[in-house]
Amino acid sequence: MMSKVPAQGPESGAQLTDEQLVVEYRTNGDRDLFALLVRRYERELYSYLRRYLGNAEMAEDVFQATFLQVHLKCDRFDANRRFRPWLYTVATNQAIDAQRRNKRHRMMSLDRSASSDNVDIGALVDLLEGDERDPLENISQLERGQWVQDALDGLTESMRSVVHLVYYQGMKYREAAEILDIPVGTVKSRLHAAIIKLYESWNSPEI
């Protein structure tokens, strides 16, 4: 699909945490350790980038660029912090840069694969509102594929970033806040703002 990563060698790195792999790699430059790190995140990160960018080819390019940055900047990684949020920060910045290079001023929609047909906006409302009833709670029962794509396109870049991380990637507010370098409260407020925008889109005369 993407990187041509060699098969895993001895168990030397298999038992290491992500953080330990990065530290060991920057210490001795063992390519097998780096390859193992890539394999651990290959599916997860590529899926995130494909949804974020809405384009498989761009996602592959950004995936490669992300791990190039990991290689180049591994000496800046703080071993006392978690690797995953740091990786997603790098990936998100690379995705934004890629869009700017392509003169795209707004994020593309989710890829139009079967996965997008399973998008459940009602679940997003549940994420924010708990057990409270909401006007959008029945949207998931309606045909919504194209509408979801158009509605997400209508969100600001900051809203989309939060929605992708918290809703589609299943990250906690704290993780998304760390990746985007914003307060947890801002993550929550942007998600609520996204709900309002989606609600307005749903109730627009064009629907």
Give the model confidence (pLDDT) of 108-138 as tens digits.
344 433 343 333 444 454 444 443 334 344 4
Q: Which among 108, 139, 166 is the end of a domain? A: 108
List, for residues 4-42, the tens digit of each pLDDT value: 444 444 445 678 899 999 999 999 988 889 999 999 999
Q: Which among 81, 108, 135 is the end of a domain? A: 108
138 within domain boundaries: no
Q: How far apart are CA 193 and CA 186, in angstroms?
A: 10
Q: What is the mean pLDDT of residues 35-60?
A: 90
1 within domain boundaries: no
- 177 and 102 inside one domain: no
182 within domain boundaries: yes
Residue 152 has pLDDT above 50, yes or no: yes
- 85 and 166 inside one domain: no
- 22 and 102 inside one domain: yes
Q: How far apart are CA 49 and CA 165, in angstroms?
A: 10
11 within domain boundaries: no
Q: How far apart are CA 157 and CA 11, in angstroms?
A: 42
131 within domain boundaries: no
Please, what is the Cα angle at 95 between 193 and 188, to 5 degrees? 20
- 103 and 175 inside one domain: no
23 within domain boundaries: yes
**Parent domain of 73:** 16-108
Q: Which of 39, 42, 41, 48 is nearest to 170 (CA)?
A: 48
62 within domain boundaries: yes
Instruction: Report residue 145 as tokens.
Output: 């594929």
- 163 and 85 inside one domain: no
Residue 45: give its domain's CATH number.
Answer: 1.10.1740.10
78 within domain boundaries: yes
List, for residues 58-114, the tens digit of each pLDDT value: 899 899 999 999 998 988 999 899 999 999 999 999 998 888 876 543 433 444 333
Q: 3-class SS at 177?
A: helix
Residue 189: give its domain's CATH number.
Answer: 1.10.10.10
| Alpha helices (H) in the chain, listed in sequence order | 18-28, 31-53, 56-73, 83-101, 114-117, 121-129, 145-153, 157-163, 173-180, 184-202
The reported pLDDT for the residue numbered 120 is 46
- 96 and 159 inside one domain: no
The reported pLDDT for the residue numbered 31 is 86
Q: What is the mean pLDDT of residues 174-188?
A: 90
Residue 174 has pLDDT above 50, yes or no: yes
Instruction: Report residue 89 as tokens.
Output: 């920060």
Q: How far apart are CA 78 and CA 18, in angstroms?
A: 12
The reported pLDDT for the residue numbered 145 is 55
| Number of domains present in the structure of the chain | 2
pTM: 0.59
